[in-house]
Structure 1
Amino acid sequence: MTDFQPIQLIPRVTEATANAEDTARADLYGLLATLLYRAPDAALLHHIAANRAIGEDAATTLGEAWNGLCDAASIATAAETADEYQQLFIGVGKPEVLLYGSYYQTGFLNERPVVALRDDLARYGLVRQDNVSETEDHIATLCEVMRFLVAGEDAGIANLAEQQHFFSRHLQPWVDTLCDAMAAHPQARFYVQVAVLLKAFMAVEAIALDMH
């Protein structure tokens, strides 16, 4: 089994999977994984702000959500987003917004959904690194696994059927609830737009994966 890297912003895309749509999907999964795993630094905020959607892309629901994040990134500082991430997702004691799928599916952490998830990760040859404290059902890890399934090098694993399976089993049942919790938090500013983008992207993915 290979070590699972929980966060990688730039996907490794082979020529076999390097079409524009899959590259964009992998990039967005990677970016969301990064933003949900830790607060963005100044360089990432600048990168987001400088890459607004234009033209027809800007008029779509996903494009509007992306440009909302660009607007938020253009006025946020790294210190502000770090404070916000700490307040929302770490806190003192129990986080105010939990980022784990088992909580939204069962009401408890580290429950049966994690067991099912670990079975799939083992099948993909992915294991949690020893220095990663978060359980595998963290939203950032799930986004990173989807990036892997879109842009991975092994067509026996990185294929549409596995994307459909993983998305419908481990993301679709609960991710909207998480997005709503993030967006509704009274202290959320930058992460409101992360939630809007995540929800819009998940809706697009649900339709696209269901159509095939």
Structure 2
Amino acid sequence: MKPQPIQFSTPSDEREELARADIYGLLAQLFVAAPDADFHAQLRVAPTEAPTPGGLLEPAWGELVAAARRVPPDAVAAEYDALFQGVGRPEVFLYGSFHLAGALNDRPLVELREDLRALGLERADGISETEDHIASLCEVMRFLIAGDDPEICNLEQQRRFFRIHLQTWIEGLCAAIDAHPRADFYRAVAGFTGAFIGVETQGFDLIE
């Protein structure tokens, strides 16, 4: 069944907007590193009702919680390393530039940095990952939804950033994870990510 779009409207429905921001924050945590013991334990006991109003993501969320209950933390950490770390070239790249241009640190990263500067954002000191890492992009979306400055944190900025820097390659990332023979917990993460991005895509379609 095709997911129904989240209705982006006015800031009056703050609960829905905060739920969107929370999901982007969750995805950032899941992709920046394997869940530590505390985070993994929270996932294991999480309710399986959809984390957004209306039950739109309930099946994919249930799969993710089930994967956390099935796969122990050490196995999740080993899976993360096998898929996204590795020695030399990772099995699956988490960087938009690679998926869009076939190489790291390519033109998409340059364009992303220009857009981030226009938003008044820059990479924090001590962060080794480039700005086109999926976790970083999810954090930007979280900021654009939940931030306090209406000149920057508004639906139009969300829509533009999403269209250019996430929608263009996230489906390919999810497909690559799903197809990898070592993926188990992260196959569920990819499924939830893809479902959420599909809902976001339809929601942004409604405001154009």
TM over 0.5: yes
Take 2:72 and 2:200, find their aligned partners in 1: how far apart are those partners?
30
> What CA RMSD, in Å, does the superposition of the two structures yield over aligned residues?
2.0
Q: 2:116 aligns with which of 118, 121, 125?
A: 121
Q: What CA deviation, in whole Å up to 9, does each residue of 1:3-29 have, x standing for no partner?
A: xxxxxxxxxxxxx78711111101100
Q: 1:166 aligns with which of 161, 164, 167?
A: 161
Change (3 A) 1:18 1:148: farther
- Which residue of 1 is the match for residue 7 of structure 2? none
Instruction: Give the total of aligned pairs.
Output: 197
SS in 1 for 2:62: helix
- Which residue of 2 is the match for residue 156 of structure 1? 151
Q: How does 1:2-41 map to 2 (within 5 A)?
A: 19-41=14-36
Identity %: 48
Q: Which runs of 5+ in 1 are unaligned?
A: 1-15
Assess if the C-alpha contact under 8 Å between 2:84 and 2:92 holds in 1.
yes
Instruction: After TM superposition, give the deviation of residue 79 of structure 1 in Å.
Output: 1.1
Q: Which amino acid aligns with 1:169?
A: I
Take 2:141 and 2:41, find their aligned partners in 1: how far apart are those partners?
25
Q: What CA deviation, in whole Å up to 9, does each residue of 1:22-69 have, x standing for no partner?
A: 1110110000001000000122122122223338x7995521001100
Q: How does 1:96-115 map to 2 (within 5 A)?
A: 96-115=91-110
- Which residue of 2 is the match for residue 190 of structure 1? 185
Q: How does 1:57-136 map to 2 (within 5 A)?
A: 60=55, 62-136=57-131
**Structure 1 residue runs of 4 or more that deviate by more than 3 Å after TM superposition:** 57-61
Take 2:183 and 2:55, find their aligned partners in 1: how far apart are those partners?
24
Change (3 A) 1:152 1:17: farther
Q: Which amino acid aligns with 1:127?
A: E
TM-score w.r.t. length of structure 1? 0.87
